[in-house]
């Protein structure tokens, strides 16, 4: 694989040397692209000696018969930026192209991994957070920094991830690139709102973040994605969005999209019941609510599924998490159930992180420890891809690949 290793100007540039060496050792063809500031931290000769190719001088150099800033990006299978400084992230998010690294980032269609490294105050600044959010929305993958010693003797969050972590994340990302190409994926997200009257609703705590992350990850992996969402979050780029409010709206939107879908992921927290007769006018005084069950969208999907279609359900539990999820998997007749213990710290509703267990109808069980919702999304989609490839959905008799963890 052809990899461009971008190095921007932070003290963690010395750790990029190790990233370079590990990528070359893993059999990849690596070209290091250094910003001017990076050259102040680590000599060009170090990267030229370790990488497959010498370090290109800059924007104006010819490269493999073409101009460096487009050729490098066009030919790359993967771009890794380690370290990615606050300045580099800002220039990348703004679409600037005033040096070889930023121009390469714009010219490439390969997956891009950025590994931020900066002081804690900078890492926590809203400008950095917004730039990263923009990049994530565009499909850029982030290996977040850890905590530890920083330049100038400071300590805190902002220290670049370790080279082994970066290399593992980058190679996993590239293995996933395009693996959902040619597929149609439908994802539902958010909590539905069931009208009591024109003013009031019954709803739940779901933010839609996990469902949106799944839609984003599926699109990044090459799928055509329809996101049916009741969430007010800005949807990821490049997906078709259908906004809905109630379980009935969601039912109709999913019923329209599902027949042509290869994969349906029901990440939405659909209300299980709704007011039987919502008032046409605002009610005054204490209403007497009579509830009725909503249609079970997932169960309908399972009974109408076509051969080869992969169905994924979600479960939010607070106790007896895995056993309840296993029963739900069987009851709903789906291929995978993703269960989160919404009482666990940092997991479930409205967090940016999640911790889940994925269960398969074929006996597969894997725990995904606390991580970003995007990484949880990729772990779920890895299982979806495995089932699409095996073509053994909708049955319990497929080969077991149980992984306890």
What residues line the site for ligand CTP (CB under 6 A)? 247, 266, 268, 270, 272, 294-298, 313-316, 328
Q: What are phi and psi of 105, to 5 degrees?
A: -65, -35
In whole angstroms, the minimum distance from the beta carbon of 265 to ligand CTP comes to: 8
In whole angstroms, the minimum distance from the beta carbon of 137 to ligand CTP comes to: 24
Q: Which of 204, 340, 354, 396 is catalytic?
A: 204
Is the preceding omega at residue 199 within 30 degrees of 0, hence cis? no
> Who contacts 57 (Cβ-Cβ below 8 Å, separation ≥6)?
none
Nearer to ligand CTP, 12 or 339 (CB): 339
Task: Report the side by side order of strands in the sheet with 29-34.
Answer: 29-34, 2-7, 78-84, 112-116, 141-142
Nearer to ligand CTP, 237 or 291 (CB): 291
Nearer to ligand CTP, 119 or 332 (CB): 332
Q: What are phi and psi of 270, to 5 degrees?
A: -75, 135
In whole angstroms, the minimum distance from the beta carbon of 390 to ligand CTP comes to: 22
The residues facing 118 across adjacent strands are: none
In whole angstroms, the minimum distance from the beta carbon of 343 to ligand CTP comes to: 13
Rounded CA separation 336/384 (Å): 8
Rounded CA separation 311/320 (Å): 23
Say how many C-beta atoms besides its own lie within 10 A of residue 163's C-beta. Answer: 20
Nearer to ligand CTP, 319 or 404 (CB): 319
Nearer to ligand CTP, 84 or 315 (CB): 315
Q: Is 109 exposed, middle or buried (0-12, 13-18, 19+ CB in 10 A)?
A: exposed
In whole angstroms, the minimum distance from the beta carbon of 299 to ligand CTP comes to: 7
Contact 370, 347 (CB under 8 A): yes
Nearer to ligand CTP, 31 or 206 (CB): 206
313: enclosing H helix or E strand: strand 310-317
- The DSSP bridge pattern shows strands 201-202 and 194-195 to be antiparallel
Query: Is 204 assigned a catalytic role?
Result: yes
Which of helix, strand or coil describes residue 241?
A: strand
Rounded CA separation 30/78 (Å): 10
In whole angstroms, the minimum distance from the beta carbon of 328 to ligand CTP comes to: 6
Tokens 């024109």 belong to: 198
Q: How far is CA 213 from the centre of its chain?
A: 5
Nearer to ligand CTP, 55 or 189 (CB): 189
In whole angstroms, the minimum distance from the beta carbon of 383 to ligand CTP comes to: 15
Contact 201, 193 (CB under 8 A): yes
| Residues noted as catalytic | 204
């Amino acid at each position: 694989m052809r990899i461009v290793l971008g190095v921007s100007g932070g003290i963690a540039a010395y750790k990029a040397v190790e990233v370079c060496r590990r990528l070359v050792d893993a059999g990849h063809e690596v070209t290091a692209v250094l910003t001017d500031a990076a050259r102040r931290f680590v000599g060009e000769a170090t990267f030229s000696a370790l990488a497959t190719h010498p370090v290109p001088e800059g924007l104006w150099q010819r490269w493999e018969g073409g101009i460096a800033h487009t050729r490098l990006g066009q030919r790359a299978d993967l771009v890794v930026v380690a370290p990615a400084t606050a300045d580099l992230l800002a220039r990348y998010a703004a679409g600037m192209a005033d040096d070889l690294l930023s121009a390469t980032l714009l010219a490439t269609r390969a997956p891009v991994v950025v590994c931020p490294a900066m002081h804690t105050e900078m890492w926590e600044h809203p400008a950095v957070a917004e730039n990263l959010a923009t990049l994530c929305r565009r499909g850029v993958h982030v290996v977040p920094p850890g905590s530890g010693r920083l330049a100038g003797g400071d300590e805190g969050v902002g220290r670049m991830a370790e080279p082994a972590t970066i290399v593992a994340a980058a190679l996993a990302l590239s293995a996933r690139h395009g693996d959902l190409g040619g597929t149609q994926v439908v994802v539902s997200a958010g909590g539905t709102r069931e009208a009591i009257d024109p003013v009031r609703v019954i709803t739940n705590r779901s933010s839609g973040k996990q469902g949106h992350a799944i839609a984003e990850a599926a699109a990044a992996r090459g799928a055509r994605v329809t996101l049916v969402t009741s969430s007010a979050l800005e949807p990821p780029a490049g997906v078709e969005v259908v906004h809905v409010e109630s379980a009935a709206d969601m039912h109709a939107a999913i019923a329209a999209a599902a027949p042509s879908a290869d994969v349906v992921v029901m990440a939405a927290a659909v209300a299980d019941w709704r007011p039987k007769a919502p008032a046409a006018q605002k009610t005054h005084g204490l209403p007497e609510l009579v509830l009725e069950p909503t249609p079970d969208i997932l169960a309908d999907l399972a009974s109408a599924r076509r051969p080869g279609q992969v169905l994924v359900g979600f479960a939010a539990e607070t106790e007896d998490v895995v056993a309840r999820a296993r029963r739900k998997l069987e009851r709903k007749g789906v291929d995978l159930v993703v269960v989160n213990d919404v009482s666990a710290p940092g997991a479930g509703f409205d967090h940016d992180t999640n911790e889940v267990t994925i269960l398969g109808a074929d006996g597969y069980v894997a725990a995904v420890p606390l991580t970003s919702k995007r990484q949880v999304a990729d772990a779920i989609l890895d299982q979806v891809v495995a089932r699409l490839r095996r073509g053994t959905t909708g049955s319990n008799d497929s080969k077991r690949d149980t992984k306890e963890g």
